[in-house]
Chains A and B, each alone.
Chain A
Amino acid sequence: MRNAVIFLLQVLFLIAIFSASNFIVKYTNLFIPGNVLGMILLFVSLTLGIVKLNYIEKAAEYLIKHLALFFIPYAVGIMTYGDLIKTSGWKLLVMIVGSTIIGLIITSGMTQYLSSKEKQKHVQSDSQ
């Protein structure tokens, strides 16, 4: 029972940060969405020690574990685009698949290449 209450309070704490961020975005016309601002604010608060990890950790881990669930209803919305899918669905799919693979391989490939070079440099400087 006690754990359930703590868990709920933690969820409410995250909701409070999200709502506050939405409020800030709305009244300052900031170019980033409320959820991303909330993520940044929470990260900064954790780093500065304003928020302690144990205030939110349980709820945060649970919400992240099931993040996919919260996207599913949006994905179900694709069912309303039957006509578009019939007329140009395959073209859109080719574009999405092609561009996603290109972006993914370039981003991840470049990171791995750069960090392996970095490691080599370390190895060389260690051996000198």
Chain B
Amino acid sequence: MFSLTLSNIIITILIYFGARLLYKHVSNPFTTPVLLATIVIIIILIIADINYEQYAPAKDWITYFLGPGTVALAVPMYKNRVVIKENAVQVLGSLTVGSIATIASAVYISKLLNLSEMIQATSAVKAVTIPVALEVVTLIGGDPSLAAVLVITAGIFGAAFGPLCLTLCKIHDPISRGLGMGTVSHGIGTSQAVVEGKLQGAVSSVAMGAAAILTSIVLPLIYNIFN
């Protein structure tokens, strides 16, 4: 059992570093490490006939570092505090409008596609970091395990295709790019914003934290307005 856990941890780390190396040479949305590594690991687990429950101990070890890793985001925030402070008004305003637009559009599109009310409610939390999403989703009548899937997918999509969308829309300003990534794609978006640049990463961390705080306070209050 322990050796399976150890080999799962080693496989995950190796595939991740492999994907990272590939991304350095061929960087396009499909080679974004979090997307490519996830797909490759799923394929390996299926071929090796390892189910997710058997993979879970390895998951617990690796994902534990998300905690200190998120705490560490205070460092780029601190190093870029002057720039962020200078842009505080734009940052807070855009972040609030953007978060509401993300939530409203998710619920509205779910409605248009005739998805169930439970899925509509769950879609509202898909942009925020997992621990917050799981807390808030139950308050508005959604499902936590579906929330985890939607949050992860939104994160991966944003990380992989967000930078391209921004470039296509001629949004080149690093603060603006980081802010959008953190607002719609939480920590996974931030992990990609960090690759783009330190300032992007710093602003994305602020956006991720602020969007999480904003959503957890505001969403339960306003959810009925949208519905």
Contacts and interface: CB of A to CB of B under 8 A. Distances in A.
A15 B115 CA distance: 41
Contacts of B34: 68, 71-72, 75
B95 interface: yes
A120 interface: no
Given A65-B194, A108-B177, A108-B180, A70 B75 contact: no
Contact of A95 (B98, B99, B115, B187): B115
Contact of B16 (A53, A69, A93): A69
Contact of B101 (A14, A35, A39, A102): A102
Given A95-B115, A100-B185, A103-B98, A71 B63 contact: yes
Contacts of B31: none
Contacts of A78: 38, 42, 149, 152-153
B119 A107 contact: no
A63 B165 CA distance: 27
Nearest to B108: A99
A110 interface: yes
Number of chain A interface residues as a range: 35 or more
B142 interface: no
Nearest to A79: B42
A81 B55 CA distance: 15
Interface in A82-123: 84, 88, 91-112, 114-116, 118
**Which 3 interchain pairs have the tightest Cβ spacing?**
A107-B98, A103-B102, A108-B180
Interface of B: 12-13, 16, 33-34, 37-38, 41-42, 45-46, 52, 55, 58-59, 62-79, 81, 87, 89-91, 93-95, 97-99, 101-102, 105-106, 109-110, 113, 115, 119, 123, 126-127, 129-132, 135, 146, 148-150, 152-159, 162, 165-166, 169, 171-173, 175-177, 179-181, 183-185, 187-188, 190-192, 194, 201, 205, 207, 209, 212-213, 216-217
8 contacts: A32-B213, A36-B131, A39-B205, A39-B209, A42-B71, A53-B75, A103-B184, A107-B99
Given A76-B38, A103-B99, A108-B177, 10 more contacts: A39-B77, A56-B75, A68-B192, A77-B149, A92-B119, A99-B105, A100-B154, A103-B102, A104-B185, A110-B98
